[in-house]
Every structure is written in C-alpha cells, then in structure tokens.
Structure 1
C-alpha cells in the first residue's frame, strides 16, 4: 500500500489546543453550528482526528469549523488561519473582504511571515478598482448577530487611527505599523462583522478604510512597497463600500506618491489624475492636496507645461484654504512648498528647488519628525549636487539629530545616501566629522531576523 501523502494540519491542531477543546467537544461545537444554519452534521472525535491528519472537511462545513473556533477564542479565525484554504487574494473584488483583512493583518503582525507577505515587486500596472466598481452596497459581508456596535465604537476606531498616525509622524512606519495591523485584526475586523444600524455600518467601513490607508502608508514608509499596495487596495474597496470619496481619493493620491517616489512617473500621473477626477466638490485644501501631487507626477514625466499649470492651481487653492481659516491641516503651506521644490527639481532647476525645500522646512510643524528627517536628507542631497558641501553637511547634521528616534525605511535611504556621498569628501573636515558621526549610527539600521 502506498504511503499517505497528506500533510498534518498543524494550524488546526494548534487552534483546537488553544481553545482547550477535546476532539469530541470540538466536533459537537461544529455540529451545533450546523444545526443553527440548517445543516444536519454528525461529526465526532474521529472526524476531527482525520482533519488534523490532513483530510479536509467538506466545503460547506469549513466556514462552520472557523466560526466555532472564532466564538471559542473570541477572535476571527479565517480558513487560511485554520489550514483549510488559501488566504484571500487582495485582488478578489467581491470576496469576503473582512477575511482578507484578517489574513493580511495577521501576517503583517507576525515577523516570521512579514518577509513573505512583502515579497514580490512593486506593480506599476496594478489593477485599481474604480469608484463605480466599489461604490455599491456591502452585500457580501457576513454579520455576527452576537455582537453589536454603535457610534462609540466608530469614534474609538477613528481616535485610535489618529493616535497611530501621530506616532507614525514622530517615530516612523516601522515602529508603528505592527500596532496598526494588530488593531485591524483584533478590533476593526470584528466591528465590521458586527450588527449595527445602517448609518453606523457605513461610518465603520469609512473608518476601516482610513485605517487601511494609514497602514499602507506606513508600509510604504518602511519600503515594503508591494505590501503597501495590498493595504491601499483594501482601503479603496472599503471606501467605495462606504461611499467615502475623501478616503478613496486620498488613497489614490498616496499610491501616486509611492509611484513617483519609485520612479514610475506615468503611473503616478494616472493615479493622481484619477484621484482628482474622483473627488466631487473638493474644498480648496483638498484641491491643493490633489493638484500638488498631479504637478509632481507631471514633472516626473517631463511634461513641463502641465506640471507648472497644476502647480499654479495648487498654490491658488492653498492660498484660498489659508485665507479662509488658519486652522492646522495635514496639507499645509509646508507641504505646498515641498511640492514646489519637487516640481522645480524634476524640471531641472535645483537651485530654486532648494529655496522651496528650505521654506518648507521653516514652515513645518515640529510634530512631523519623520518628515523632517527625510526632507532634510533630500535638501542636503540637492545642495551637494550643486557644490554646496558645507551647507549640505549642516542639513545632514540636523537630520542626524532626530534620525536615531525614527524607524523609517525612507529615512534609512537618506542616511545611506549621505554616507555614500560623504565617503568621497573625507578630506573636508566638516564632511569627515559628519561621516564619523554617521558611522556610529550604522548598527541601528539592522533589522531583527
């Protein structure tokens, strides 16, 4: 007789053990759920032993197996987590998006799985779900009648996302993203499945979309660009289900920022244009936010006329926004000056670009420490390009003041560029002293295995 080729289901065995169930009690729990759903099941401990040995339950029973474990463990358990099916593809429109979010977030929380999750090249040709594709009722979502959420839970999700965003600004994406992923898996995903009034459900979908966008942005900051795309696509889907144009457009713009940063100018412009088109009746600050990115992307493609036209639109909108209210906003005059600097640099005017970046640094609020580190590095690189070595060293020294406090792949890139550049100027006392200071910080770049 040929030896069995089945692979034991270690994941399922571990979950049953964690639930402190015997095989018999687990089988009875699955049978009870079958009765709830109108299925007459007669599983016993022998069936469970077969499952753990690698035999798959019949397809109709697999969701019940996961539901039984979810109720016992008081957290969502997906088919993939139970070893009963592949992880949901992040490209599957219409699939159970909550299950996909749990699988994505669970892998992102686990350092041993994160490398595999982020594997693969950034896709410049990624299929982006259009607004018309996703702006429909969220009919495929399976609800849990045992849990109910209200306005307090929506407010809690929004507040937590805001707090994580503030921490990201201060400490960088690599430091904060595991917390964001854990919050998605343990709190937001169960809320999406909970019973709620229709208006609360829509608000929760919107809040979840914003949280996915933030998590994707932090993955991009860590230089996990393929993973970032996965989070961004989920943000687009959720925003569409919620009818949330703001987060949908913000996410498309974030994807454009990522594309232009990676050298994909045409893709960046397509995404920036899509964000602008999809934004209905945007206020002046939102228009500046969107058209500023269009200007940068157009400049990256070499379209000088379009870049300057969009830049002028963004500056006009920014002036309107600031004249209406001096309230603090995420896209502020510092951000506007950064886009001016980026556009001018792409169009071959590094000297004027430097002046704009210096003005951006002067206007920036202190809470944006990660941004300060990244952009001071960029400013120093531009100065070195036109021969202003000692000024570049001054900016790099300022960058290093905050660099040890920030865990960011993009900031690490600026550090590495600094060290490579300085290596050729060690005869200069300023450059040599800075190089020595930088070398003392090198070990912090090592990531845990």
Structure 2
C-alpha cells in the first residue's frame, strides 16, 4: 500500500489561517462540541492530516467549517484536499423538503441527535430574485381545495404556538409546530386554490416555518434552525412576501450574532435592511438595531454607533406599535444599546442600558426574555465587580426559571456555579452558588 501524499490543499488553508497545529485541533474540537459531538483531537492528528491521512468522514465538514469561520469564506471539500462527498439525490421541492424536515422534529426521542446539526457561517442565502416565484410550478392536489378559512386557521395557530413558545420555551413548542407543519400546512400548500389564497397560504407557512426555526435556536439546535430559515425564505419568495423574507434574514443575523459571529451577522443584517421594502420608522429601527449589534461584534465601532443612532431616531419618530412589524420599542432599543456597548468593551454602560430595558418593559414582553436578559445582566454586573447585585439579579431569574424550557436559558443557568465559585467566601454568593448547583443535580 502506497504511503499517502501530503495534502497540499489542506496545507495551504492551514498556512493561510495562521494557526499552530494545536490551535487547529482546538478549533475543530470546539466546533465538534458546539455540534453536540465532542472531539478530542490533538497536534499529532493535525500532523497526520497534513501528511495526507484522511480525517474521519464525520470530521471533514467540521474542519471545513473551522476554516470557513477563520478565513471568512466558504471552503469546499476539493479546496481542502478531501474527496467530494457522495452526490445526494436532487433537493426535494419545498413542500416535500418541509415534510422531511418537520417529521424528523416530531419525535422528541430523536431530537437530541437531530438538533446537533452544525451552524454554518458559509451558508448560501438565496437573494429575493432567486426565491420569487420558485414554487409556481409546484404540483397541486386536485382532490383538495382551500380558501380563506384555512389561511386564517394557520395564522391563528401560529399565534398560539408563538404564545406557547414565549411562555414555556422552544423545547415544548417545537414538536407541536413541526407536527402542524407536516400534518396540516404541507397538505394545504399542495391543495388547489386561487392565486390569492395560494400566496396567502405560502406567506402564512413561511412565518410558521420561521417561528419553528426560532424555536430551534432557543433549543440550541442551530444547524436545524438554519434549515427552517432557508425553507421560510423559499416560501416567502413563493408568496411574494417581501416583509417576511427580510424578517427571516434579520433573524438569521440575530442567530449569528448570538453565537459571536460578527461578520456573518453583519452580512445578514445588511441583506435584510437592503431588501426591506419601504416602511415606517419602527421597521427601520428593527433593522438598524440589529445592524448596530452586528457591526459592534465585528469591531466596526463607527458603523455600530451610526446604526444605533439611526435606530434611536426611528424609535423616537414612531408614534404607535399598532400595525407595525417586529414590535421594536424603546425597551428593545435599550437592549440593542446594551449589546452594542458590551461588544465594544463598555460593560458598565451595557449594564446601565440593560437596567433601562427592564424599566421600559411592558406586558407584551415575554417571560423567557425576562429570564434571559436577567441572567445576562447578572453576568455583566459580576464583570464590573457588583457581586451582591449580580446574585440578586440571578435570584430573580431563578425564581421563574422552572417555568421555562429553553436550551439557551439552561446554558446561562449552568454557568452560574462556575462564575460564582471564586466568590464563595461571600455568604450571599455562596448561597446563590449552592442554589444554582442544586438545579441540575
């Protein structure tokens, strides 16, 4: 058997990255953990890869993703010197693909594995011209016809699911949303209907699909969420629903930003803003606020502050939330300001803005966001040395924590013991340390 030849493609990428072999292995391990499949590669493995030994098939996409994140561009198997993956069957039409996606989510016993999909910074996002009318040629079922009542039912059910998501978290609501997509909405999308009803149904399905992706984000199933978001974009294009298309792009930017990927977040936030149809000031604020956070994460202070100022001006111009899209308010602006300040290194200012957010909240804000932002505030209070204030804020969050079933909030609560461990000589910190540890015993 011939000895393998050095992998010149992988070597080029490795040199371009500027990593040491140890850093390369650590990044692959980190992304493997993010995916839900922890890896323990070390320097010798990287050396073997560079010499031409093929990594395991399941590791190769993780290596490509590591380089994509480092080099800010998509990386192919060929570019990395890996054999091309087996050609998969042609991508199914939107409805069939949606059924496959939803069916996999309907069984809670399988979702631990399915949720481990890898978030991709190099995901190809279809532009508005690419998705408009994409579903025009879809085959319909002449035995079933739908009208306005079915469209109203999907919209009403989506509102109920959204309420359940806000009240209890994505872990509870997503199987119900997936089941509704598969069992009711997908057949409606294939039914005969007038052009107006057909487009209205696709628009309603698009927003439900986006909501299901948002629930997946809440569980930490980020690769899964991206799949739902892409389906939502296709459905929005099929219905001519430009507003939902832009909303989904913004949601994808929020996802990237929350994972710390500044440049992809900027790309998506700008795409959302550029594609956004003319709208009122609250929609402008909705877009500009996310652009500000994304720019700040990418280290672009000037554009971050300019976008934040634009969002502030737009919120001040808005006279009412009625009939607006996104519900962007003064409380939301305060949260965006906090995120920008924190990303730019002003933790004290971030704490002040988060406190402003809580003063401005009203009954329309969800319990989940209250717990999430409280845990965030506590961590930042601790960063600036306000130990007892942080413990009080965490205590408030933990009082409501049992009501919410959210992977994101679970992660925040699991961090509390390690954050408080150095301060156990303080009686208040020690009590909160013990309380938080008890939760996961």
What range describes the TM-score normalised by the shorter chain of this pair?
A: 0.7 to 0.9
> How far apart are the structure 2 equivalents of 1:427 and 1:295?
40
Equivalent position SS for 1:147: strand
> Aligned in 2, Cα 1:216/1:332: closer, same or farther, shift over 3 Å?
same
Q: Judge conservation of contact 2:237–2:245 (CA < 8 Å) in 1.
A: yes
> How far apart are the structure 2 equivalents of 1:369 and 1:224?
21
Q: Unaligned stretches of 5+ in structure 1?
A: 1-85, 444-449
Report Cα offsets for 1:11-38 as digits up to 9, x if no partner. xxxxxxxxxxxxxxxxxxxxxxxxxxxx
Q: Judge conservation of contact 2:414–2:436 (CA < 8 Å) in 1.
A: no
Matched, 1:337 2:327: no
> Aligned in 2, Cα 1:326/1:191: closer, same or farther, shift over 3 Å?
closer
Report Cα offsets for 1:181-235 as digits up to 9, x if no partner. 0110011101101111110000000000000000000100100000000000000
Matched, 1:272 2:269: yes
**What's 1:384 paired with?**
382
Matched, 1:420 2:421: no
Q: Judge conservation of contact 1:379–1:395 (CA < 8 Å) in 2.
A: yes
Equivalent position SS for 2:142: strand
- The alpha carbon displacement at 1:147 in A equals 0.9
> Aligned in 2, Cα 1:295/1:189: closer, same or farther, shift over 3 Å?
same
**What's 1:131 paired with?**
128
Count residues with an aligned counterpart.
Answer: 353
- The alpha carbon displacement at 1:330 in A equals 2.6
**What's 1:35 paired with?**
none
> Aligned in 2, Cα 1:305/1:223: closer, same or farther, shift over 3 Å?
same
> How far apart are the structure 1 equivalents of 2:138 and 2:394?
50
**What's 2:158 paired with?**
161
**What's 1:375 paired with?**
373
> How far apart are the structure 1 equivalents of 2:89 and 2:362?
40
Equivalent position SS for 2:422: coil
Alignment equivalent of 1:141, drawn from 131, 138, 150: 138
Matched, 1:226 2:206: no
Q: Judge conservation of contact 1:404–1:441 (CA < 8 Å) in 2.
A: no
**RMSD of aligned residue pairs (Cα, Å):** 1.7
Report Cα offsets for 1:44-84 as digits up to 9, x if no partner. xxxxxxxxxxxxxxxxxxxxxxxxxxxxxxxxxxxxxxxxx
> How far apart are the structure 2 equivalents of 1:160 and 1:88?
33
Report Cα offsets for 1:372-393 as digits up to 9, x if no partner. 1111010000110010000000
> Aligned in 2, Cα 1:304/1:210: closer, same or farther, shift over 3 Å?
same
- The alpha carbon displacement at 1:117 in A equals 2.8
> Aligned in 2, Cα 1:327/1:210: closer, same or farther, shift over 3 Å?
closer
> How far apart are the structure 2 equivalents of 1:428 and 1:115?
38
> Aligned in 2, Cα 1:167/1:202: closer, same or farther, shift over 3 Å?
same
TM-score normalised over the length of structure 1: 0.76
Report Cα offsets for 1:243-295 as digits up to 9, x if no partner. 11111011000100010111110000000000000001022111111110000
Q: Judge conservation of contact 1:88–1:103 (CA < 8 Å) in 2.
A: no
- The alpha carbon displacement at 1:364 in A equals 2.1
Q: Judge conservation of contact 2:282–2:327 (CA < 8 Å) in 1.
A: no
> How far apart are the structure 2 equivalents of 1:360 and 1:341?
9
TM-score normalised over the length of structure 2: 0.77
**What's 1:183 paired with?**
180
Structure 1 window deviating more from structure 2 (418-427 vs 101-110): it is 418-427
**What's 2:397 paired with?**
399
**What's 1:441 paired with?**
439
Matched, 1:295 2:325: no
- The alpha carbon displacement at 1:162 in A equals 0.8
Matched, 1:306 2:303: yes
Alignment equivalent of 1:346, drawn from 327, 330, 343: 343
